Amino acid sequence: MSELGPDLIIGAVSIFTAGITMAIGSIAPALGEGKAVAEALNAIAQQPDEAPTLTRTLFVGMAMVESTAIYCLVVSMILIFANPFWEYFIGKAGG
Amino acid sequence: MSELGPDLIIGAVSIFTAGITMAIGSIAPALGEGKAVAEALNAIAQQPDEAPTLTRTLFVGMAMVESTAIYCLVVSMILIFANPFWEYFIGKAGG
Amino acid sequence: MSELGPDLIIGAVSIFTAGITMAIGSIAPALGEGKAVAEALNAIAQQPDEAPTLTRTLFVGMAMVESTAIYCLVVSMILIFANPFWEYFIGKAGG
Amino acid sequence: MSELGPDLIIGAVSIFTAGITMAIGSIAPALGEGKAVAEALNAIAQQPDEAPTLTRTLFVGMAMVESTAIYCLVVSMILIFANPFWEYFIGKAGG
Amino acid sequence: MSELGPDLIIGAVSIFTAGITMAIGSIAPALGEGKAVAEALNAIAQQPDEAPTLTRTLFVGMAMVESTAIYCLVVSMILIFANPFWEYFIGKAGG
Amino acid sequence: MSELGPDLIIGAVSIFTAGITMAIGSIAPALGEGKAVAEALNAIAQQPDEAPTLTRTLFVGMAMVESTAIYCLVVSMILIFANPFWEYFIGKAGG
Amino acid sequence: MSELGPDLIIGAVSIFTAGITMAIGSIAPALGEGKAVAEALNAIAQQPDEAPTLTRTLFVGMAMVESTAIYCLVVSMILIFANPFWEYFIGKAGG
Amino acid sequence: MSELGPDLIIGAVSIFTAGITMAIGSIAPALGEGKAVAEALNAIAQQPDEAPTLTRTLFVGMAMVESTAIYCLVVSMILIFANPFWEYFIGKAGG
Amino acid sequence: MSELGPDLIIGAVSIFTAGITMAIGSIAPALGEGKAVAEALNAIAQQPDEAPTLTRTLFVGMAMVESTAIYCLVVSMILIFANPFWEYFIGKAGG
Amino acid sequence: MSELGPDLIIGAVSIFTAGITMAIGSIAPALGEGKAVAEALNAIAQQPDEAPTLTRTLFVGMAMVESTAIYCLVVSMILIFANPFWEYFIGKAGG
Amino acid sequence: MSELGPDLIIGAVSIFTAGITMAIGSIAPALGEGKAVAEALNAIAQQPDEAPTLTRTLFVGMAMVESTAIYCLVVSMILIFANPFWEYFIGKAGG
Amino acid sequence: MSELGPDLIIGAVSIFTAGITMAIGSIAPALGEGKAVAEALNAIAQQPDEAPTLTRTLFVGMAMVESTAIYCLVVSMILIFANPFWEYFIGKAGG
Amino acid sequence: MSELGPDLIIGAVSIFTAGITMAIGSIAPALGEGKAVAEALNAIAQQPDEAPTLTRTLFVGMAMVESTAIYCLVVSMILIFANPFWEYFIGKAGG
Amino acid sequence: MSELGPDLIIGAVSIFTAGITMAIGSIAPALGEGKAVAEALNAIAQQPDEAPTLTRTLFVGMAMVESTAIYCLVVSMILIFANPFWEYFIGKAGG
């Protein structure tokens, strides 16, 4: 059994990077969406008749903002569950 | 018994990353939601008749903002309770 | 008795992470709620007749903001009182 | 007597974390409450007749903001007076 | 006599943490109270007739803001004068 | 089998850089898009008749903003799945 | 004579902490008081007839803000002139 | 085979620099473009008749802002796929 | 003669702390006073008849702000000219 | 063959500096140009008749802002493709 | 001759602290005075008849702001030309 | 041939400093010029008749702002192509 | 000849401190003066008849702001050309 | 020939300090001048008849702001071309 071997370092780096990527990646989408929602409520209060157009624009726009959070979640999940570097070293450690 | 072995390092990194991910990941959603709630109250004060539309938009929007906090909570819980790297090293340590 | 053993490092990391998670996790909810309360007071002053609707929206919204502080408290308490890594190493140290 | 033993490190980390948790945890509630009080005074000046409603909303809201400071105080006190890691190592050192 | 023993490290960490806790813990209350006082003066200038209500609300609110500074002072004083970790190591050093 | 060899270091650096690139790269697009969506909602509320022109401009503009997030995602994916440095060292390790 | 003994380290930490505590602790009160004074001048210019009420409120409020600076000064003076850790080690060094 | 040789260090530095360059380089263009889009929507809402002039100016301006992101992408791609330092050391390692 | 003895370290720490305490301690009073002066000039321009009341309030307020700078100067001077730790070590070095 | 020789260090420093120079150097021009474009759109909406003068001033001004990004690109390219220090050491390594 | 003796370290620390104290200590007074001058010009433009009162208040106020810069200059000069620690070590080195 | 000799260190420091000087030195001029251009466009929209005076003032002012970027470029180029320290060490290495 | 002797360290610290003192010390005066000039131009545009009084107040005020930059320049020049610590060590090295 | 001798360290510190001094020293003047130019354009647009007075005040004021950049350039050039510490060590190395 290899102690402090390459699999350990790859594992530790993957865990840390996965968490930090998700954490930092959640900051801006949440702020951006909060701002969009706040402005949408303000706009609906000004023009109640346009509420359907406004909420539709809001949700399409928020989906686009959310996409950057999704990119980070995808990178984070790849690093935890489908990490090619990890699989290479597991294979080598088992080989 | 292996002292300072790979399981220790993976465990320590997982604990630290889980906490930091949740801590950083709670900053932006709380600020964004606080802003949205503040604007909603302002909008209701301006247009009391639109209160149902406004609160509905508020809660749908906040659910979307909350989703980024949930992503962080999910990553944090995966690292504590369903960590594939930890299980690999536990298996190896026990093997 | 193992000195500077894995249980020590896991314990120290858990204490530090629990405290920091709670400390950072309290920043944004407090700011967000403070903003929401401030806006609620402003809105009530503008529309005293809508006070019940406004306070209801305020408390539902604040509960959602508070939820991110609760997530951090939960992670912090798990790390102090129900830490699976700690239990593993305690078991190993006692085994 | 064990010098520089695990109890020392756990103790030092607990002291430092307890202080920092309380210190960081007091920033946001104080700012949020200060903002809420400032707005309340502004609102009372605008609508003196609504002073009872406004102060009631203010104090309920501030109690909720204060709760995040209380969470930090609780974590800080647990780390100083009811620290399970410390008790484990004290027990071990005395065992 | 133990040089560079556990009591030294606990003492140094306690001194540093006590000072930093008080220093950081004084930032936000002072800013929050300064903001509240500024707004109170503004409100009194707008509504001189409501001065008693405004100053009463101001002082109750400031007492609540001050409470977070008090929590920090309490933690700081506990670390200097009633530190359970210090007493444990003093007892051990004298034992 | 080479322990702590070049493939390990290249792998660890690639994982860390891929995550950080995606995380930092998601901050600005999310903020910029949130701002654009907020302004679009405001503009639609002012000029409901121009909603088609406004949403078209919004989506073309957001696509351009999103492009910087895509650049980061591309760099991140190249580093994980098509990394020329990694392939060189894998080839050398296997050679 | 003990060189680089515990008294030296306690002394150096006490000096540094005393200075930093006072320095950081003076930032927020000075800013908060400056803001309060500025607002008071503004309020007096608006309502010269209320000058007595305004200055009284100003000085009571500033006294409360000043209290956080006083807490820091007290902690700083305790660390320089009535430091229990220092007295313990002086006693031990002389014992 | 040279372990930890110059090619490794050049490779690791190139990977890290390529990612960081792209990540930092995407911040300002995304913010600047978001601001420009937001203002364009505002301007179109004010002057719907000038929409063609405004969108033309917007896209020419955004192309210029985007150019700084492109510079970073170019530097990043040169470092990954056409790095003269890497080629020099590969040649030397193979020589 | 003791080289690199305790007196050296205490002296170096005292010099550094004295300078930093004064430097950081001058930031906030200068900003706060600048703000107060600026507002005073503004207020006098609005209400020239109240100039005596305004300048009196200004100088009393600035004296209070200046007090935090004075605290820092006092701590700084104590560390340079009346440092009890320094005197203790000088006495010990000469004893 | 010199391992870890001067050419390696010069190469690594050049790669890192080239990337960072371009990355930091792209921040301010992108923000400045974004601001200029936003203001231009605003100005055109106010004075559609002056659109030619405004766009001409905009592009001359942006060219000047872009010049600082070009300086950084030039320094970055010199460091990668025409680095006098690199050529000196390559010459020496080959000499 | 003592190389790397106490006088060297005291000298190096004194130089560095003197420079940093003056540098940091010049930030806030310059900003505060710039603000006060700006407001004074604004006030004179509003009330040209009050120019004598305004400039007198300005210069008295700026003298008070300047005092914090003077404190830093005094500490800086004491450290360079009248440093008691330096004189002590010079005396010891010559003794 | 001297490995890791003075010429290497001087070269590496010169490369790094040249890049950083240019990168940091491009931030403020780009922001300042962007602000000036934005204001110029605003001013032309307000006073189209004064466009010649405004653009002339703009370009003279921007030339002065640009001068600080030029200073940085000059320092950067001196460090790369006319570095007296480098020439001294090259001379010494060749001597 | 003393290599790495006290004169070297004093010289290196003096160079670094002189540069940093001047660099940091130029930030605030330039910002403060820029603000004062901007306000002066604004004031002259409002009250062209008061231009002599305004420019006189501006230059007296800017001289006072400039004084803090001069203090830093003086400290910087003292460290380069009239450094008492340097002269002491030069004398000792030559003695 | 002295390798890693005092001249090397003095040279490296001088290069780095010269670059950083110029880089940091260019930030504030560029921002301050940009602000002054922006305000001048605004003022000319408001009072075209006062353009000569305004541009004269602008250029005298900018010359004063530029002076702080010139101080930094002078310190930077002294460190590169007329460095007394460098000349001392060159003299000693050649002596």
pLDDT in tens, H8-39: 888 899 999 999 999 999 999 999 999 999 99
| pLDDT given for residue C1 in this prediction | 39
B13, C13 Cβ separation under 8 angstroms: no
Average pLDDT over residues J17-38: 93
CA distance K61 to chain I (A): 6
CA distance D11 to chain E (A): 6
The per-residue pLDDT of chain C, averaged, comes to 88
Tens digits of per-residue pLDDT, B8-30? 888 899 999 999 999 999 999 99
Amino acid at C50: E
Amino acid at I67: S
Q: Does H74 touch chain F (CB under 8 A)?
A: no
Tokens representing residue L15 in the block: 């490369």
Q: Do E28 and D24 touch (CB under 8 A)?
A: no
Among A28, A54, A84, select the one facing F81 at the smallest CB separation: A84
Q: In angstroms, rounded to a whole number, what is the distance separating the alpha carbons of residues G70 and G67?
A: 5
Amino acid at J79: L
I83 CB-near residues (< 8 Å, 6+ apart): G15, I10, I14
Among L12, L34, L45, select the one facing J43 at the smallest CB separation: L45
Tokens representing residue K33 in the block: 């005075």
Domain assignment of residue C95, yes or no: no
Q: Do D66 and E64 touch (CB under 8 A)?
A: yes
| pLDDT given for residue J91 in this prediction | 83
Coil, strand or helix at N78: helix
H or E element that contains C66: helix C51-81
Q: For chain B, what is the largest distance between any 2 Cα atoms, rounded to a whole number of angstroms?
A: 70
Tokens representing residue L23 in the block: 């990168």
Q: Answer whether residue L4 shows pLDDT above 70.
A: no
CA distance L56 to chain N (A): 10
H58, H42 Cβ separation under 8 angstroms: no
| Secondary structure string (H, E, C) spanning chain E | CCCCCHHHHHHHHHHHHHHHHHHHHCHHHHHHHHHHHHHHHHHHHHCHHHHHHHHHHHHHHHHHHHHHHHHHHHHHHHHHHCCHHHHHHHHHHHC
The interface residues of chain F toward chain H in range 36-65, judged by CB-CB distance below 8 A, are 36, 38-40, 42-44, 46-47, 49-50, 53-54, 57-58, 60-62, 64-65
E49-83 exposure pattern, b = at least 16 Cβ within 10 A, e = fewer: ebbebbbebbbebbebbbbbbbbbbbbbbbbbeeb
Average pLDDT over residues C29-46: 93
- Expressed as residue numbers, the domain containing J72 is 27-94
Contacts of D28 in chain E (CB under 8 A): 28
Q: Answer whether residue J95 shows pLDDT above 70.
A: no
Q: Chains with 3 or more CB pairs closer than 8 angstroms to B?
A: A, C
Coil, strand or helix at B5: coil
* Interface residue of A14, A21, A59, A90 to substitute, partner F, most F CBs within 10 Å: A21
Tens digits of per-residue pLDDT, N18-38? 999 999 999 999 999 999 999
C5, B3 Cβ separation under 8 angstroms: yes
Average pLDDT over residues I71-87: 91
Q: Do E32 and D37 touch (CB under 8 A)?
A: yes
Domain assignment of residue M1, yes or no: no
Domain assignment of residue F48, yes or no: yes
Question: Considering just the CA atoms, what is the radius of gyration of chain C in Å?
Answer: 21
Q: In angstroms, rounded to a whole number, what is the distance separating the alpha carbons of residues B70 and B76?
A: 10
Q: In angstroms, rounded to a whole number, what is the distance separating the alpha carbons of residues K45 and D6?
A: 70
| pLDDT given for residue K70 in this prediction | 93
Tell me which residue has tokens 């690639």.
F14
Amino acid at C60: V
B72, A22 Cβ separation under 8 angstroms: yes
Domain assignment of residue E51, yes or no: yes
Among A28, A69, A81, select the one facing B71 at the smallest CB separation: A69
Q: Does I75 touch chain G (CB under 8 A)?
A: yes
Q: Does H23 touch chain F (CB under 8 A)?
A: yes
**HSE-up of residue C84 (Cα within 13 Å, Cβ side):** 16
Chains A and B touch (3+ CB pairs under 8 A): yes
K11-21 exposure pattern, b = at least 16 Cβ within 10 A, e = fewer: bbbbbbbbbbb
Contacts of J75 in chain H (CB under 8 A): none
Q: Do I44 and K62 touch (CB under 8 A)?
A: no
Q: Chains with 3 or more CB pairs closer than 8 angstroms to E?
A: D, G
CB neighbour class for L50 (10 Å; exposed up to 12, middle 13-18, buried from 19): middle
| pLDDT given for residue F90 in this prediction | 83
The conformation of residue N49, written as its DSSP 8-state character, comes to: G
Q: Does K79 touch chain M (CB under 8 A)?
A: no
D6 confidence band (pLDDT: 50, 70, 90): confident
Q: Answer whether residue A61 shows pLDDT above 60.
A: yes
Q: For residue N56, give the CATH number of its domain.
A: 1.20.20.10
| pLDDT given for residue A88 in this prediction | 87
Tens digits of per-residue pLDDT, G27-79? 999 999 999 999 999 999 998 998 999 999 999 999 999 999 999 999 999 99
Contacts of K40 in chain M (CB under 8 A): 57, 61
For a pLDDT cut of 90, what percent of chain F falls above it?
67
Q: Does C67 touch chain D (CB under 8 A)?
A: no
I1 confidence band (pLDDT: 50, 70, 90): very low
E5, D11 Cβ separation under 8 angstroms: no
Listed as ranges, residues in chain N with pLDDT below 50 are 1-2
CA distance H88 to chain F (A): 14
K30 CB-near residues (< 8 Å, 6+ apart): K69, M28, M29, M31, M32, M65, M68, M69
Helix axes C27-46, D27-46, angle to 10 degrees: 0
Tell me which residue has tokens 């990353």.
B17
Domain assignment of residue A56, yes or no: yes
pLDDT higher for D5 or L28? L28
Q: Does J87 touch chain H (CB under 8 A)?
A: no
H73, F74 Cβ separation under 8 angstroms: no
Among B51, B62, B90, select the one facing C64 at the smallest CB separation: B62
Quick one: how many helices (H) and strands (E) in chain G? 4, 0
Domain assignment of residue B73, yes or no: yes
Contacts of K69 in chain I (CB under 8 A): 26, 30
Q: Do B50 and A58 touch (CB under 8 A)?
A: no
Q: Do B57 and A58 touch (CB under 8 A)?
A: yes
Amino acid at N95: G
| pLDDT given for residue J28 in this prediction | 92
| pLDDT given for residue K95 in this prediction | 60
Q: Answer whether residue A73 shows pLDDT above 60.
A: yes
Q: Do I39 and G44 touch (CB under 8 A)?
A: no
Q: Do N33 and M34 touch (CB under 8 A)?
A: yes
Separation of first and last alpha carbons in chain F: 12
Chain J residue whose CA is closest to L6: J6
Q: In angstroms, rounded to a whole number, what is the distance separating the alpha carbons of residues J2 and J10?
A: 14
Q: Does L16 touch chain J (CB under 8 A)?
A: yes
Contacts of E95 in chain D (CB under 8 A): 1
Domain assignment of residue B5, yes or no: no
C13 CB-near residues (< 8 Å, 6+ apart): B12, B15, B16
Q: Do L79 and N19 touch (CB under 8 A)?
A: yes
For the residues of chain N, what is the DSSP string, one character each?
--TT-HHHHHHHHHHHHHHHHHHHHTHHHHHHHHHHHHHHHHHHHH-GGGHHHHHHHHHHHHHHHHHHHHHHHHHHHHHHHS-HHHHHHHHHHH-
Tens digits of per-residue pLDDT, J63-74? 999 999 999 999
* Interface residue of N65, N67, N77, N79 to substitute, partner M, most M CBs within 10 Å: N65
Query: What's the structural domain count of chain M?
Result: 1
Contacts of B84 in chain A (CB under 8 A): 80-81
| pLDDT given for residue F67 in this prediction | 92
Q: In angstroms, rounded to a whole number, what is the distance separating the alpha carbons of residues D1 and D18?
A: 26
Tens digits of per-residue pLDDT, F16-53? 999 999 999 999 999 999 999 999 999 999 989 989 99
Domain assignment of residue K1, yes or no: no
